[in-house]
Amino acid sequence: MIKKLILTLSLTMFLSCSNITNVEKTFLNTYPIKNSNEIEKLFIKGKLDLRNDEINLYHIENLIVDNIPKILLDINYEKGIVDSFIINNTMGDKVILSFNNLGKNRTIRKEIIFARLPKESTLEFKLDNEYQVIDNTIFEIKSVIKNNYKWIKLVPYFLDEDTFEEKAKQIIEKEVSPSFYENDLIIELNNKKTINNTVYKETEAILGNGKVIRGYGEPQSEIILEFDTFKISTMVDSNGDWQLIIPDSSIGNLKIIQKTIDGKIIYTELPGDQL
């Protein structure tokens, strides 16, 4: 009996220890968000989280999609509004959408447009949960070509006649003013998770704030910024200027390394409280 108890305890401890999870987050890149939510270039690799409890309209000049990433958005089914995109150029095949409902679990008789793409774009949007039922309503993604653009929308389907008749009587109020938020960056992170000595990697992008670090250097030389937990590099332009945007949460002690085109290396160090 004692041997059996010891064996059981040992097995339990082994299983507990073998499931220890270690998660490391490494800063990869930033994508600036300009006035009126304008983004010059956005590269989505894994998961992009745009939830901030507000409904926003994003203007994206160039969207590049790698594999099949997931985008998390805010939506209000009760009002029929959702985070939306005006995209001028796309590269990629498919995006998965997951929605965070800000209102009550009520729906209205309204097709919800959430993206405008170039007419020739082949980018597809799919729902993370195609069978989700909200207020006796399911949604399907459809695209329509109109005025040289491809419009992507959520179309509601009511599951019984009573629900359909109820929604048909509703008055739909238009909301034409998207809100703009204080976050000025999309921060790309590399998440490394260790489970049972197996390492899993995924890319995640979130909203955040940052600080612009700029300086001068020899044209065409490489600038490397080394902080306490990560490093990032850029090139000096033909005018001798360079700049990088760093998330506030990542800023610490800084070492600036300049590698000139003739192989010369110049170091500069700054403590975190001077940034």
| 3-class SS of residue 272 | helix
38 assigned to some structural domain: yes
Note down the domain range covering 159.
Answer: 31-168
Query: Are 44 and 114 found together in one domain?
Result: yes
Tokens of 6: 């010891």
Q: How far apart are CA 241 and CA 239, in angstroms?
A: 6
Task: Specify whether 246 is located in the same domain as 154.
Answer: no
- With bands split at pLDDT 50, 70 and 90, how would you rate the model's confidence at 176? very low
82 domain-assigned: yes
Strands (E) located in the chain: 21-32, 38-44, 47-49, 57-65, 70-76, 81-82, 84-91, 94-101, 112-118, 124-127, 137-146, 149-158, 185-195, 198-208, 210-216, 222-226, 231-235, 241-247, 254-259, 265-270
Identify whether residues 86 and 141 lie together within a single domain: yes
164 and 214 inside one domain: no
142 and 263 both lie in a single domain: no
Q: What is the mean pLDDT of residues 231-242?
A: 84
Distance CA 44, CA 66 (A): 6
Instruction: Decide if 202 is inside a domain.
Output: no
Is 196 contained in some domain? no
Q: In 3D, which of 27, 86, 80, 10 has the Cα closest to residue 251?
A: 27
Based on the domain organization, do 159 and 232 belong to the same domain? no
Closest CA to 95 of 200, 201, 205, 185: 205
Asked whether residue 35 falls in the same domain as residue 154, the answer is yes
pTM summary value: 0.69
Which segments of 64-223 does DSSP mark as H helices, in order? Answer: 161-168
How far apart CA 195 and CA 32 sit, in angstroms, is 34
Task: Establish if 151 belongs to a structural domain.
Answer: yes
Tell me, yes or no, whether 187 lies in a domain.
Answer: no
Q: In whole angstroms, what is the distance from residue 169 CA to residue 171 CA?
A: 7
Q: Measured between alpha carbons, how far is residue 34 from residues 37, 58, 186, 189 in Å? A: 6, 10, 11, 20
- DSSP per residue, 28-46: EEEEE-BGGGEEEEEEESS
Q: What is the DSSP letter of 161?
A: H
> Same domain for 139 and 257?
no
What total of structural domains would you count in the chain? 2
Q: Give residue 249's pLDDT band: very low, low, confident or very high (50, 70, 90).
A: low
Q: 53 and 119, same structural domain?
A: yes
Residue 270 lies in a domain: yes
**Final residue belonging to a domain, choices 168, 187, 218:** 168
Residues 251 and 130 in one domain: no
Residue at which a domain ends, from 168, 195, 228: 168
Residue 170 has pLDDT above 90, yes or no: no
Residues 55-113 pLDDT 10s: 888 999 999 999 999 999 999 998 888 999 999 999 999 999 999 999 889 898 888 99
Residues 48 and 159 in one domain: yes
Residue 116 has pLDDT above 60, yes or no: yes
The three-class DSSP label of residue 199 is strand
pLDDT interval class at 183 (50, 70, 90): low
Mean pLDDT of 152-157: 93
Q: Which of 113, 140, 168 is the last residue of a domain?
A: 168
CA distances from 188 to 8, 62, 142, 233, 234 (A): 44, 16, 29, 15, 16
Query: Would strands 84-91 and 57-65 be described as parallel, antiparallel, or unpaired?
Result: parallel
Any domain includes 10:
no
Q: How far apart are alpha carbons 244 and 224 in whole angstroms?
A: 10
Q: What CATH number is attached to the domain comprising 213?
A: 2.60.40.10
Same domain, 48 and 156: yes
Examine the pLDDT at 18 and tell me if it is beyond 50. no
Residue 3, pLDDT > 50, answer no
